[in-house]
Amino acid sequence: MTESQIRFRRMKDLPSTHLLGTGTPMCAGCGGLEALHEIYDILGEKTVFVNAAGCMTLLSVYPFTPVRGSWLYTAMASAPAGAQGIRDALDILLERKAITAEEDLEVVVLTGDGAAYGMGLSATSGAMERNLDFVYICYDNEGYGNTGQQYSGATPHGARTATSLGSHGFGGYKKDLFSIWAAHRPAYVATVIGAEPLDLARKIEKARTLHGPRMIIALAPCPTGWDYDPKESVEIGKLAVKTGVWPLREYIDGKVVHTKMPHPRIPVEEYLMRQGRFRHLFEPQRDQQLLGEIQQRVDAYWSGIE
């Protein structure tokens, strides 16, 4: 067996909920992989992952996958369509009694923010309109991380990316994908982050009990794209929550509930200054106007909630 085969072999000798981590060609400190580990620990092996092209595609090299269940790779915009085909096929097999309910699988879409916020948004909208019974997981590293961190619909205002190199960084604003998804009135929408594992676990457990479209957005701190030491991923994730930049919330039964309130909220710059993509806001001169604008937008969000 070659070294590559050893690294990507099915993990048959490990617990059924184990997800391949060490030895994979993933970036050290990947916040998306951190969240996926925690999510898969709960979902387990009775799953079929429909993976849109992106960072997590590197986890699977045919014919080996990182999970004990199944894995289907699709083009970036096509994962919800692939999920529809799989779910329909499973339902037909169930109806014909070709498989039992115990053999049924949870269909899980796995995409980055490039697909979720942009290329695949129309396919996702259509899947929700059809009330597709699936779980959609977006690992949001706020840029096209697999191709060099170009800006995406998830890139925050002021961040420097490979395609936003001006003195003030990205001039646009991050889409509120949570609200876009919630407007479709699916069964469930939640934001999570690997640095808050108990909150994440409660939400995945809740999603498992529901049927219909269940949408999970996981903020994914990215050492290579955000420019920080990989050992700081968890701390940066916690700061995203403590500053209020990443609200932990869920939508269910037509209501939005915040599951963790940042009290007291700390200044946003405590989060920004830890990342090289925002260094231009502090060096060589402090950009007080842009820092103030970013803080003001966060304050405005929380003003009607706290």
11-63 pLDDT, tens digit per residue, is 333 333 445 443 456 799 999 999 999 999 999 999 999 999 999 988 887 77
Q: What pLDDT score does 25 carry? A: 65
Burial of 230 (0-12, 13-18, 19+ CB in 10 A): middle
CA gap 276, 281 in Å, rounded: 10
Question: What are the start-end ranges of the H helices in the chain?
Answer: 3-8, 31-43, 79-95, 113, 121-129, 177-182, 197-208, 223-226, 233-242, 269-272, 288-303
- Matching CATH number, 3-303, of 3.30.930.10, 3.40.50.970, 3.40.190.10, 3.30.470.20: 3.40.50.970
Q: What pLDDT score does 21 carry? A: 43
pLDDT at 69 over 90: no
Helix (H) or strand (E) holding 251: strand 248-252
Do the beta carbons of residue 251 and residue 178 sit within 8 Å? yes
The pLDDT > 90 percentage for the chain reads: 85
The pLDDT > 70 percentage for the chain reads: 92
Q: What pLDDT score does 13 carry? A: 38
**Mean pLDDT highest for which of 58-62, 165-169, 297-301?**
297-301
pLDDT at 191 over 70: yes
Question: Which 3 state secondary structure label does DSSP give 101?
Answer: helix
Ranges of each domain in the chain: 3-303
Give the pLDDT mean for 200-219.
Answer: 98
Give the pLDDT mean for 240-257.
Answer: 97
Give the pLDDT mean for 240-246.
Answer: 98
Question: Whole-model pTM?
Answer: 0.91
Q: What pLDDT score does 92 carry? A: 98
pLDDT at 206 over 70: yes
pLDDT at 212 over 60: yes
